[in-house]
Structure 1
Amino acid sequence: MRDEARNNAAASGGCSVRMWGYLPAASPQRAPLLQPTPVPVTPLNDPLKTVCNGGCGFGIAISESGKLNTWGSTTELGQCYLISGKQQELPEPYPLPTESPIVQAAGGWAHCAAVTGGGEVFTWGWSECVPSIQPTPDESEQVQGDDASACAPSTSLQSSPRNNAGASHTKPSSHAPPLRNSGALPGKQSGRQTHRNLTCKTTDSKGAEEILKKRKIVSFEHGESPESPTAAEENVFAPPCLVNLDPGIRISIVAAGGRHTLALSDVGHVWGWGYGGEGQLGLGTRMRIVSSPQLIPCFNSPENGISSSGAPIPGSSIKAIACGGRHSAIVTDAGALLTFGWGLYGQVGQGSNEDELSPCLVSAMGGLQVTGIAAGLWHTLCITDIGDVYAFGGNQFGQLGVGGNSAEMSPRLIDAPLLEDESCVAVACGARHSVVLTGSGKIFAWGWNKYGQLGLGDNNNRDLPVQVTMNDGGRAANIACGWWHTLATVHIK
């Protein structure tokens, strides 16, 4: 393993990408990787540079030339070729319909999104998460108010909004044309919008029709393992689509959650689309299907920066975004933390288990300056400018890192001995595990560890941060979490 790491480092100018956790097809006998393992060198002489958050059983990274690479997907345990690329041990470029370099990407439960250097966004995967492509008159209807029903095809996921879904396999047709979504961005949004059915019907094209065949999807949300799915439904998946935004809008960051997506522009505005039944899109309602990008009103009154709850919100633009399973978090340019969406486990940090339908200031953070955020299936983490980490939400597997397994309804400082002399600079969340990167290049992990996603050499859960050891003494520069795995970019000494 050490020789392989040196070879990988040599090929990438002193950097190596490491992986651990559940990444089938990228490990012998598809067994979980219990400790950091070098990602094999690609044969394209285009080393991986940046690892990306998200993915159920597959890794996502961007190469030095700006190619989006995926690896580790599998065919029999619920992954979808359209989302993760083909089953493979080696990273390979994902076939996006653009020549522009990719600068950032994220994976959700069953969809992905990527940002180009020109500020465009491509998204693909489960059709509920992809903006409408070709709506027909009978597929459109006006959704009114909080009691609006879903317009998407009826599945158990619509009838039981507490369920998430993964996706099953199928190889996409290489002849399908690139698709552009048809939804135009309105200037201002009230939260009550026209929504379209998201079946992504493109029956005029045989190639696209073949791609959009119904695929099996499975749900692992309630703690089940990837080997034992408890539910199966059918849905439709969409190939990569260019998200249609108004001229002049340049997106710099995307975040993908269970079934929703947020996009942050270079001037600090945030758009959202996908599933919004718990308020995770921040539009003020429980609209279940939002089929085109909607501007999220983070500052309702630009003159005085007052939120809908009446609390003053420092700042005037957004600088960071994160999507959890059914909740979202954003940070203003003044370091204020806002959350919205499902609050059952306290993951919105408002001191209760109520949902928040609009961005709401996390007042418990007081005058602290938040610099980084991450969100898991049921929990949220944030970092302050002095390198402290705060956690709140579900804690069933110790994913908050505060000891024990009790949920926290408000942010709580992770006051762990191993972090006492460390300053944290980045944070990432898997479905039920957490990882931080310190300024000294150390990685600490805690939470659910059934598949080795903590990288500690075993399958034991941890409720306090534990350092992840690199066998060759490498210094980490970048971290990312998938739902059941962890990735890191490491500089070799």
Structure 2
Amino acid sequence: MDYISPKESALKVKRWAKNTIAAGRRHTVGLKSDGSVMAVGDNNYGQCNVSKWSNIVAVAASNVHMATNTGNAHTIGLKSDGTVVAVGWNKHNQCDVNGWCDIVAVAVGWRRTIGLKSCGSVVAVGRNNDGECNVGGWHDIVAVAAGDWHTIGLKSDGTVTAVGNNRFRQCNVSDWSDIKAVAAGYLHTVGLKLDGTTIAVGQNKLGQCEVSSWRGIVAVAVGSKHTVGLKSDGTVMAVGWNEYGQCNVSDWYDIVAIAAGCTHTIGLKLDGTVVSVGGNEYGQCHVSGWCDIQILSN
């Protein structure tokens, strides 16, 4: 029988946190154990004005390509009663979620917000120039992800559906199977399979889709042009764009959740503290003093 260290055992008991940290293009959001929320980074559009939120069970933050100067600044909170709150830039009505109810998961893309309902249907508000909000006919969905111009839905049978811009084949997921989690970036899409391997489609100019060799993965996060994988032993790996050091995660340990922004990467540790690497020009990596971030099971 293989030896399992107390650290590994603790990681298994805690299982894996989900949607308790979020990384936007220039800001970072954390959900605390008491249901309150904190945020650091760029607040030009009020995207960090979350201090009055309460009873939150999941958070999401918009994350877009580096070259985009607007439309990347809103934050979403899912409340315990299934309603949704939003702050930040709202030119395309991406924050008009006050009427939503019975929501069990949220995702944020460029200038839009996606909500998954308990019945498996999906709602969306915001920019729809590429059909990225055309999710009204979806059903049996168990998870959603939003890239810049495309939206991904994971179905209960482990297959995947997609709408929106497909210029770089980031929506070519119809043949995927046995998927348990999905993530979407600027122009690429990543799927985590039941066996702990990963698959990716879309733009691969910087190697952000080179994840086929990964094993033992329990969670994935996708930034603008980089992909991050959390392993079952609490360590982390990353591929893709690393100009700001956002892929320098090889020394991380005891991690239970990951989030990827445009130029930075966030990790939630087993003790509720947070680590970060990457671009910090707006203070989006100033999370070293954070503690008591919520640990939730999948």
**Normalising TM by the smaller chain, what interval?**
0.7 to 0.9
CA RMSD of aligned residues (A): 2.3
Partner residue in 2 for 1:363: 174
CA distance in 1, matches of 2:163, 2:23: 20
User: Against the structure 1 CA distance between its residues 129 and 255, is the aligned structure 2 distance closer, same or farther, given a 3 Å change threshold?
Assistant: farther
- Residue 132 of structure 2 is aligned to residue 280 of structure 1: yes
Partner residue in 1 for 2:98: 243
1:66 to 35, 38, 48: 35
Q: Secondary structure at the match of 1:364?
A: coil
How big is each residue's C-alpha offset from its partner over 1:336-357, in whole Å with a ceiling of 9 and x where there is no partner?
Answer: 10011001111111xxxxxxxx
Partner residue in 1 for 2:205: 396
Partner residue in 2 for 1:324: 147
**Identity over the aligned pairs, expressed in percent?**
27
Which residue type is aligned with residue 364 of structure 1?
Answer: D
CA distance in 2, matches of 1:342, 1:111: 21
CA distance in 2, matches of 1:49, 1:326: 23
- Matched residues, number: 248
- Residue 250 of structure 2 is aligned to residue 454 of structure 1: no
CA distance in 1, matches of 2:121, 2:142: 9
The answer to whether the 8 Å contact 2:226/2:241 transfers is yes
User: Against the structure 1 CA distance between its residues 68 and 346, is the aligned structure 2 distance closer, same or farther, given a 3 Å change threshold?
Assistant: same
Aligned pairs for 1:253-264 (under 5 A) are 253-264=105-116
Partner residue in 1 for 2:255: 476
CA distance in 2, matches of 1:384, 1:112: 28
Residue 425 of structure 1 and its aligned partner are, at CA, apart by 1.2
The answer to whether the 8 Å contact 1:379/1:391 transfers is yes
Which residue type is aligned with residue 110 of structure 1?
Answer: A
Partner residue in 2 for 1:127: 90
TM-score by length of 2: 0.77
Which residue type is aligned with residue 34 of structure 2?
Answer: S
The answer to whether the 8 Å contact 2:23/2:265 transfers is no
The answer to whether the 8 Å contact 1:103/1:115 transfers is yes
Partner residue in 2 for 1:415: 212
How big is each residue's C-alpha offset from its partner over 1:388-431, in whole Å with a ceiling of 9 and x where there is no partner?
Answer: 10000011221112xxxxxxxxxxxx332xx3xx3211110011
The answer to whether the 8 Å contact 1:51/1:479 transfers is no
The answer to whether the 8 Å contact 1:49/1:489 transfers is no
How big is each residue's C-alpha offset from its partner over 1:244-295, in whole Å with a ceiling of 9 and x where there is no partner?
Answer: 13xxx31111100011111012222210110001011125xxxxxxxxxxxx
Which residue type is aligned with residue 78 of structure 2?
Answer: V
Q: Secondary structure at the match of 1:344?
A: coil
Q: Which has the higher contact order (CA 8 A, sep 6+)?
A: 2
Partner residue in 2 for 1:102: 56
CA distance in 2, matches of 1:49, 1:433: 19
- Residue 256 of structure 2 is aligned to residue 445 of structure 1: no
Which residue type is aligned with residue 66 of structure 1?
Answer: G
Residue 65 of structure 1 and its aligned partner are, at CA, apart by 0.7
The answer to whether the 8 Å contact 1:254/1:264 transfers is yes
CA distance in 1, matches of 2:160, 2:18: 29
Which residue type is aligned with residue 341 of structure 1?
Answer: G
Q: Secondary structure at the match of 1:82?
A: coil
Q: Secondary structure at the match of 1:428?
A: strand
Aligned pairs for 1:3-402 (under 5 A) are 51-73=20-42, 80-85=44-49, 94-96=50-52, 98=53, 100-108=54-62, 109-130=72-93, 243-245=98-100, 249-282=101-134, 296-299=136-139, 317-349=140-172, 362-365=173-176, 368-401=177-210
Q: Secondary structure at the match of 2:131?
A: coil
In the alignment, structure 2 segments of 5+ residues that lack a partner are 1-9, 12-16, 63-71, 272-298
How big is each residue's C-alpha offset from its partner over 1:179-219, in whole Å with a ceiling of 9 and x where there is no partner?
Answer: xx5xxxxxxxxxxxxxxxxxxxxxxxxxxxxxxxxxxxxxx
CA distance in 1, matches of 2:168, 2:199: 16
The answer to whether the 8 Å contact 2:186/2:225 transfers is yes
2:224 to 419, 431, 438: 431
Which residue type is aligned with residue 251 of structure 2?
Answer: T
In the alignment, structure 1 segments of 5+ residues that lack a partner are 1-13, 16-47, 74-78, 86-93, 133-180, 182-241, 284-295, 300-316, 350-361, 402-413, 457-467
TM-score by length of 1: 0.48
The answer to whether the 8 Å contact 2:257/2:268 transfers is yes
CA distance in 1, matches of 2:163, 2:174: 13
Determine which structure has the larger helix proportion and give its number.
1
The answer to whether the 8 Å contact 1:52/1:60 transfers is yes
The answer to whether the 8 Å contact 1:113/1:123 transfers is yes
The answer to whether the 8 Å contact 1:103/1:116 transfers is yes
Which residue type is aligned with residue 244 of structure 1?
Answer: G
Residue 452 of structure 1 and its aligned partner are, at CA, apart by 1.1
